[in-house]
Amino acid sequence: MSNSEILMELRNVTHGYSLRSGSTLKVIENLNIQVRYGEFLGIVGPSGCGKSTILRIMAGLVKPLSGVVIFRGEVLNGTTPRISLMHQVPTLLPWLTVRENIYLALMSRKDLTERAKQLKVSELLELVELSGYESAYPYELSGGMRQRVALARALVTDPDLLLLDEPFSNLDPLTSLSLIRELEGMWFDTTLPPISIVMVSHNIEEVVMLADRVVVLGGRPAKILAEVPIELSRPRNKKSEEFYRLVDELFSLIS
C-alpha cells in the first residue's frame, strides 16, 4: 500500500504514566496503527487496555512518551480542527443552547466569517435532524439528542478524521441503533465529512456493524493481537451468519 492512502499513522507509540512509587506503568507499547483514507476503523479490547488513551493520542490531546503520530504526511503536534473527537458522554455546556454548543467548535476559527460559521452550524443542525431545537438547552433534550448535538459539534469543523470514544455506550439499545444507522448513512455520503472514522468500543456487535477493519488490542501493556477486515456488504444485517461468525471470532480474540 502506498503512503498516499494513509491518513494517519501511529509509529512505535508507547505511553504510560508514572506511579507514585516512581516507576512507570506502560499502558501501550510500540503500537503501530494505520488509518487509511475513507476507512472506518474499529478498535476493540478489554476495558482498561488503553483504547481511550490511543484515541487521545490520535487527537493530539496527549503526547505519547515515545513514538510519533503522522497525520496527512506530517508529524501531529497538538490538536487541529482537522481531527475531531466525540466523547463517551455528550460533553455539552449546560448554559449554552444547542446552537451555541455547536458554534463553540468554530468560535476560534479565524479563516471563516461569522456568516459562514452560522451557516455551517445550521447545516449541521439539519444533518443531525435537530433543526427545531437550536435554541433548546441540553437539559431539555433526551440522551440520544444530546449525543447528536455532540456529533454535530464534532462534524461542524469539517474534520478529515473523526474519533469516536464509545459514542453509543450511554444510550439505550434502540437509540444507539438509530444513531448507528444515521452515522452509517452519513458515512456513506462521500460529500460529507469526515474522510475516515476511528471508533473505540467494547461493544463488538457495534463495531462489526460499522467498521471496515478492526484492530484487536489486549495485554498489558496493550499490543495489537489481531487485525480483522470486515468485508460484509452494507447495510449489514445483524442476523446474518457471516455477522455472527465475525462477532464470535472477535469475542474469542479478546477473551
Partner 1 sequence: MLWEILAAVALSWTRIVTALAISVFAAIIVGIYSGIYRRVDRIAIPILDVLQSVPILGFFPLAVYVLASAVPVLGYELASIFLLYTCTFWNLAFAVYEGARSIPHSMIEVAELSKLSLRDRFGKIYVPAVFPKIVDQLPASLANAFYFLAASEVIALGEAEVRVAGIGTLILRYLEKGNYAGIAIGLLATALSIIAAYLFILMPLISYSDRYRFDIAQPPAVQKTPMIMGLYSRIKSIQAPLRMEPRRVAGFTHRVFPIQFVNIRYVGSDIKRLIFIVFIVVLLIFAGPGIYANIGDMWAAVSSVASAGLRLGLFSIGEALAYSFSRVLVCLALMLAISLPIAYVVSEKPGLRNTILPVLQIIASLPSPLIFPIISGFFVGGTFSRELGAVLLMSLGSVWYVFYSTLSGFNKVHGEYRELARLYRLSGINKFRYIYLPFATPSIVTGLITATGGAWNTVIVAERLGEGGRIFEVQTPGLGKLMSTLAEIADTSGLVFTVMVMTAFVILVNRLLWRNLYDYSIRALRIHEQL
Shortest distance, position 150 Cβ to partner 1, whole Å: 10
**Is residue 178 at the binding interface for partner 1, with CB under 8 A as the rule?**
no
Distance CA 191, CA 122 (A): 17
Helix (H) or strand (E) holding 40: strand 40-44
Least Å distance, CB 210 to partner 1, is 21
State yes or no: residue 79 binds partner 1 (CB under 8 A). yes
With contacts defined by CB under 8 A, how many residues of the chain interact with partner 1? 42
Nearest distance in Å: CB 52, partner 1: 6
Q: How far apart are the first and last CA of the chain?
A: 31
Residue of the chain from 3, 4, 74, 107 that contacts partner 1 (CB under 8 A): 107
Q: Which amino acid is at 54?
A: I
Whole-angstrom distance, CA of residue 120 vs CA of residue 167 = 23
* Rounded Cα distance, 222 and 220, in Å: 5
Radius of gyration of the chain, Cα coordinates, nearest whole angstrom: 18
* C-alpha cell read off for 12: 512505535
Q: Could you say which of 147, 157, 196, 201 contacts partner 1 (CB under 8 A)?
A: 157
CA torsion, ordered 91, 209, 204, 82, to nearest 10 deg = -40
Q: By CB under 8 A, is residue 118 in contact with partner 1?
A: no
Give the DSSP letter string of 122-171.
HHHHHHTT-GGGTT--GGGS-HHHHHHHHHHHHHTT--SEEEEESTTTTS
Q: Which of 126, 129, 140, 248 binds partner 1 (CB under 8 A)?
A: 140
**Contact map string, positions 6 to 45, toward partner 1, x by CB under 8 A:** ---------xxxxxx------x------------------
For residues 50 and 43, what is the distance between their CA atoms, to the nearest angstrom?
10
**Contact call for residue 88 and partner 1 (CB under 8 A):** yes
Nearest approach in angstroms of CB 166 to partner 1 is: 9
> Which of 32, 66, 77, 91 touches partner 1 (CB under 8 A)?
91
48 near partner 1, rule: CB under 8 A: yes
Residues that bind partner 1 (CB under 8 A): 15-20, 27, 48, 52-53, 56, 59, 61-62, 78-79, 81, 84-85, 87-89, 91, 93-96, 104-108, 137-143, 157, 165, 170
